[in-house]
Amino acid sequence: MRSRLLTGAAIAAATALAVTGCSTSSGGDSKTIKVVYKQNPNNGNKVQANYLRPMAKAFEKANPGTHVELVPVTASDSDYFTKIDLLMKSPATAPDLVYEDTAVINSDIAAGLLKPLDSYVSKWSDWAQFEDVSKGSVKGFSDGKTYGVPDGTDTRGIWYNKEIFAKAGISVPWQPKTWDDILDAAKKVKAKVPDVTPLNLYSSVASGEASSMQGMEMLLYGTPAAKNSQYDWSKKKWVTGSQGFKDALDFVHSVYGGGLGPSLQQALGANFSDTVATQLLPQGKLAMDIDGSWMPNNWLPSGGAPWKEWSSVMGVAPMPTQHGEGSGKISMSGGFAWSIPAKAKNPDLAFKFLKSIQTESAAAEWDVVNAQIPVRKDVAADPTYIKGLPSNKFFTDLVPNTFYRPSLPAYNQVSTAIQKAMESVASGQGSVEKAASAYDDEVAAAVGGDSTVKGS
Q: Starting at the edge strand that comes first in sequence, how are the strands of the sheet with 452-454 ordered?
A: 231-232, 237-240, 452-454
9, burial (CB in 10 Å: exposed 0-12, middle 13-18, buried 19+): exposed
Select from 3.40.50.300, 3.40.190.10, 3.30.300.30, 3.40.1390.10 the CATH code of 8-154+335-403: 3.40.190.10
Span 156-333+408-454 CATH architecture = 3-Layer(aba) Sandwich (3.40)
pLDDT tens over the chain, length 456 residues:
333 333 333 434 444 444 344 333 334 467 999 999 998 765 556 889 999 999 999 999 999 999 999 999 988 777 888 899 999 999 999 999 999 999 889 989 999 999 999 999 999 999 999 999 899 999 998 899 999 999 999 999 999 999 999 999 999 999 999 999 999 999 999 999 999 999 999 999 999 999 999 999 999 999 999 889 999 999 999 999 999 999 999 999 999 999 999 999 999 998 899 999 999 999 999 999 999 999 998 999 888 899 999 999 999 999 999 999 999 999 999 999 999 999 999 999 999 999 999 999 999 999 988 889 999 999 998 888 888 899 999 999 998 899 999 888 899 899 999 999 999 999 999 999 999 999 999 999 999 999 999 998
Is 156-333+408-454 in the same CATH topology as 8-154+335-403? yes
CB 175 within 8 A of CB 265: no
Q: What does the alpha-carbon distance between residue 355 and residue 222 come to, in Å, rounded to a whole number?
A: 37
Residue boundaries of the structural domains of the chain: 8-154+335-403, 156-333+408-454
Is the separation of the CB atoms in 358 and 121 below 8 Å?
A: no
- Cβ-based neighbour number of residue 386 at 10 Å: 15
Helix, coil or strand: residue 213: helix
